[in-house]
Chains A and B, each alone.
Chain A
Amino acid sequence: DTAVSQTPKYLVTQMGNDKSIKCEQNLGHDTMYWYKQDSKKFLKIMFSYNNKELIINETVPNRFSPKSPDKAHLNLHINSLELGDSAVYFCASSRTATYEQYFGPGTRLTVT
């Protein structure tokens, strides 16, 4: 009965490859988010969807493309991976954009 789940938990890949991370929530929330946490543990929002509509799109390279097939799922596709993309990526969800957010377990991406 996991609330927010992500797959995979770990992802090791080479520069130039394309990869995807998937997120699902079973909380009935309308809003989902992608965050990036760098090596200094700073957590920064990348994207947010509300009911499948993109509402937040921070200054992120266009190699990153989110997709929300329905309000319970939010995926992140990354093209042409670079060394600097190595980080932990967290998915989160909230009832609406103004309510408290709950985080998934994270995906540790390592680009070699």
Chain B
Amino acid sequence: QKEVEQNSGPLSVPEGAIASLNCTYSDRGSQSFFWYRQYSGKSPELIMFIYSNGDKEDGRFTAQLNKASQYVSLLIRDSQPSDSATYLCAVRLGGAQKLVFGQGTRLTINP
């Protein structure tokens, strides 16, 4: 089992709809969870981080963490074509000082 898993997609969502991206992780002791957005040919850009169970909202983005089920998700409301990118989930595994990244989900928002 991979340490951090994401559905590689592509995930296609119509403009204005909610895009839902999911990530599961293997280490129950994991502490910190991050979502990065990466446009083609660009560097990963941090868009959300979450440390506690529950929801965290920032503008159109909501991160959801469920430690019991070992998953973290990212919701993008009112999706825009500019949201089309690869979304990387990163997890700081329990006791580790490094982030482990998932393989990324490619999201396409269709006008």
**A interface residues with partner B (beta carbon < 8 Å):** 40-45, 48, 50, 55-56, 58, 90, 97-98, 100-106
Contact = CB atoms under 8 A, between A and B. Distances in A.
Interface stretch (B19-27, B58-66, B73-81, B97-105): B97-105
B93 to A, nearest CB: 12
Given A103-B44, A105-B43, A97 B101 contact: no
Q: Which 7 A-B pairs have the closest CB atoms?
A: A97-B97, A103-B43, A43-B101, A103-B44, A100-B49, A106-B43, A45-B98
22 contacts: A41-B103, A42-B101, A42-B103, A43-B88, A43-B104, A45-B99, A48-B97, A50-B97, A55-B97, A56-B97, A56-B98, A58-B98, A97-B97, A98-B31, A98-B92, A100-B32, A100-B34, A100-B46, A101-B34, A101-B46, A101-B99, A105-B43
B interface, how many residues as a size bin? 20 to 34
Q: Tell me whether chain B's interface is mostly helix, strand or loop, or mixed.
A: strand
B86 interface: yes
Interface of B: 31-32, 34, 36, 38, 42-46, 49, 86, 88, 90, 92, 97-101, 103-104
